[in-house]
Amino acid sequence: MSLQNILSNKIKEAVKSIYSKALETVEFQATRKEFAGDITVVVFPMLRVVKGNPVQIGQAIGSFLLEHVEEVKAFNVVKGFLNIEINDVHYINFFNTIKDEETFGFTKPNTDDKSVMVEYSSPNTNKPLHLGHVRNNLLGYSVAEIVKASGKTVYKTQIINDRGIHICKSMLAWQRYGNAETPESTGLKGDKLVGNYYVKFDQEYKKEIAALIAEGKTEDEAKKQAPILIEAQHMLQKWEAGDEKVLELWNKMNNWVYDGFAISYKNLGVDFDKLYYESQTYLLGKEFVDEGLKTGVFFKKEDGSVWCDLTEDGLDEKIVLRSDGTAVYMTQDIGTAIQRIKDFPDVGGMVYTVGNEQDYHFQVLFLILKKLGFDWAKNLFHLSYGMVDLPSGKMKSREGTVVDADDLIADMSITAKEISEELGKLDGYSKEEKQELYKTIGLGALKYYILKVDPKKRILFDPKESIDFQGNTGPFIQYTYARIQSILRKAKGSSDSSSSVFEMTYKLHDKEKSVLKQLQGFPEIIQSAAQNHSPALIANYTYELVKEFNSFYQNVPILGTDNAVEKDFRVQLSHAVANTIKNAFGLLGISVPERM
């Protein structure tokens, strides 16, 4: 049982014993630096249950804890805050329990619990992955790892948007202007080649619009009547009708894109357990639209289009099938959700990692699935996140102004190389070791910079700022990990302390205690990050742990102490910190270098 749980139970017991009142919750916070104490109880919320002076209430509860809780060494009350000092025995006992536990903080999956499916990436097959996809992938992958560490079985998935007018635009442009070029003949990744033709379509479309406007058409008329767009629409109709030549071209170009995506995912360090394709799931969605029509969940308008009336739920009417019978995104998403539960019956909830411009879409989707009678629909969560901006401004795929994910990853390695060379930290490394380290630092910087921010917030991404070796950055934390590895290498051979159990009489230095207090919070942070779907909690916890360790390192001799027990304790404490950094960064998908 955690210290907070022990104290919470005893505080409730104190309130019952002293005031004959039942307290439901106890609010804790970290003790402010200027006061003695390790954990603080906020008394003010108790005034709803217990009437009286908050200082007197704090004194009474503190005295009760001192008498009844062996972990409590002393207390003081400042206004409505009860500051509690915890004895060294508690922290030494905690350390003896976790110091050799390589997966400290992680909870083993409970097979009785329902599994969770996390969806992320979900790209369109008409363009390569860009900076926006990078945040999506990093968030989704990290949330999946965190939920897994919290004790759930997790399946990672994506829905590949491989059909629709956007795909046909790339196909038509390649057919018209491609001269049969391929990824092999051009040396381009397949997703980049196809993306170039998506941009080409837009360029030609704009030319045709301009020509029609010059002939006297309005802009709206010109946009609808441009021959290249009409041809793309015909291609989509042929695709839906199963036209052999269109399907052959579609398969060929999509496979180029999948090969390109596979390289990008490997570069980014993310993976999936199961892939879904919109071209397959939209049909199941159409089946359930028919079912919903029969049961009254949906209704048909005069033009034959099918809708769901959500006005009584405070939303609008939502189209689920066009008048010509073709599917919309909602159709596909209904089918995908249902197919996933068919494939994984143990799944009890899903997390959708999608940008905040789709907030309304998911509100509607979850409500429709509930109306269709699916019990699991109450456990669906939209992990909504803000956009990523660059100092240069907003990105647009069709205009070719996006920041390509592969290029960004490569640029991060180059930036890491430039900064590392300036700092002169890599003497004695081989060329291959340097290249591998630049990649680890660059990718770590990118991931940490994005994941340390609350998902809901928009990010202005500055590559140079992210690769600072000081402050709240990935490289700063990686450097601390490498520093600890250097300490452990030097300690190895001087003593083998891996099996030491420390006596309860060991007197903790204040800096040792601060590190132990921070370590103790790791399991709770994992649970909180899982519940809140927030890698930022893990990132910022790790930064705080590193700050505490660096303060300990600068103020307390580790290998330089003459006391063998102190040296042993501090080396093992350093090992526990390094292990926790590695595990925490693993949850963020970030590697840690053994030396820097």
Same domain, 414 and 563: yes
pLDDT at 462 over 90: no
Same domain, 164 and 82: no
Confidence of residue 112 (pLDDT cuts 50, 70, 90): confident
Q: In CATH, what number is assigned to the domain containing residue 422?
A: 1.10.730.10
Residue 39 in any domain: the answer is yes
pLDDT of residue 54: 95
Distances (CA, A) of 319 to 304, 305, 328: 11, 7, 8
Same domain, 33 and 174: no
Q: Percentage of the chain surpassing pLDDT 70?
A: 96
Residue 280 in any domain: the answer is no
- The radius of gyration of the chain's CA atoms, rounded to the nearest angstrom, is 29
Same domain, 480 and 567: yes
The 10s digit of each residue's pLDDT in 532-541 is 999 999 999 9
Residue 503 in any domain: the answer is yes
Q: What's the predicted TM-score (pTM) here?
A: 0.90
Same domain, 423 and 547: yes
Place of tokens 């629909």: 377
Residue 363 in any domain: the answer is no
User: Side by side, which strands form the sheet with 380-385?
Assistant: 274-277, 154-160, 115-119, 347-355, 380-385
Same domain, 543 and 420: yes
The 10s digit of each residue's pLDDT in 170-224 is 999 999 999 999 999 999 999 999 999 999 999 999 999 999 999 999 999 999 9
Confidence of residue 495 (pLDDT cuts 50, 70, 90): low
Sign of CA dihedral 475, 476, 478, 479: positive
The domain boundary residue, chosen from 86, 111, 140: 86
Half-sphere exposure of 431 (CA within 13 A, CB side): 0
pLDDT of residue 588: 98
State the Cα–Cα distance between residues 538 and 583, nearest whole angstrom: 10
Count of domains forming the chain: 3
User: Side by side, which strands form the sheet with 306-309?
Assistant: 299-300, 306-309, 317-321
Same domain, 64 and 164: no
Same domain, 40 and 170: no
The 10s digit of each residue's pLDDT in 404-433 is 899 889 989 998 888 888 777 677 788 898
395 contacts: CB under 8 Å, gap ≥ 6: 130, 131, 132, 401, 402, 403
310 contacts: CB under 8 Å, gap ≥ 6: 316, 317, 318, 364, 367, 368
Q: 560 with 83: CB under 8 angstroms?
A: no
The 10s digit of each residue's pLDDT in 226-272 is 999 999 999 999 998 999 999 999 999 999 999 999 999 999 999 99
Same domain, 62 and 200: no
The 10s digit of each residue's pLDDT in 323-337 is 988 888 899 999 999
Residue type, 217: K
pLDDT at 395 over 80: no
Tell me the mean pLDDT in the region 149-165: 95
pLDDT at 2 over 90: no
Confidence of residue 397 (pLDDT cuts 50, 70, 90): very low
Domain that holds residue 56: 3-86
The domain boundary residue, chosen from 222, 242, 270: 270
Pairing assessment for the beta strands 154-160 and 317-321 based on DSSP bridges: unpaired
Residue type, 478: Q
CB under 8 Å, gap of 24 or more: what pairs does 85-91 form?
Answer: 85/36, 85/37, 85/38, 86/3, 86/38, 86/39, 88/504, 88/506, 88/507, 88/508, 88/513, 89/504, 90/3, 91/508, 91/513, 91/516, 91/517, 91/520
Helix (H) or strand (E) holding 308: strand 306-309
Place of tokens 């970030």: 590
Q: 413 with 439: CB under 8 angstroms?
A: yes
Q: 269 with 588: CB under 8 angstroms?
A: no
pLDDT at 319 over 70: yes
Q: Where are the beta strands (DSSP E) in 66-202?
A: 72-78, 81-86, 115-119, 154-160
Same domain, 555 and 425: yes
Residue 110 in any domain: the answer is no
Q: 376 with 438: CB under 8 angstroms?
A: no
Same domain, 415 and 559: yes
272-276, 385-389, 484-488: range with lowest mean pLDDT? 385-389
555 contacts: CB under 8 Å, gap ≥ 6: 511
Return the closest-CA partner of residue 87 out of 41, 14, 38, 40. Answer: 38
Return the closest-CA partner of residue 399 out of 131, 201, 170, 134. Answer: 201
Record the tokens describing residue 309, joined without a space.
């009336």
Tell me the mean pLDDT in the region 383-391: 87
The 10s digit of each residue's pLDDT in 442-457 is 999 999 999 999 999 9
Residue 594 in any domain: the answer is no
Residue 325 in any domain: the answer is no
Q: In CATH, what number is assigned to the domain containing residue 75?
A: 3.30.1360.70
pLDDT at 391 over 80: no
pLDDT at 493 over 80: no
Place of tokens 């199961």: 274
Residue 360 in any domain: the answer is no
pLDDT of residue 401: 54
335 contacts: CB under 8 Å, gap ≥ 6: 281, 282, 283, 284, 285, 286, 287, 288
The domain boundary residue, chosen from 206, 235, 270: 270
Q: Give the angle subtended at the CA of 406 by the CAs of 467 and 246, to the nearest 5°.
A: 160
Same domain, 438 and 579: yes
pLDDT of residue 239: 93
pLDDT of residue 111: 79
Tell me the mean pLDDT in the region 61-71: 95
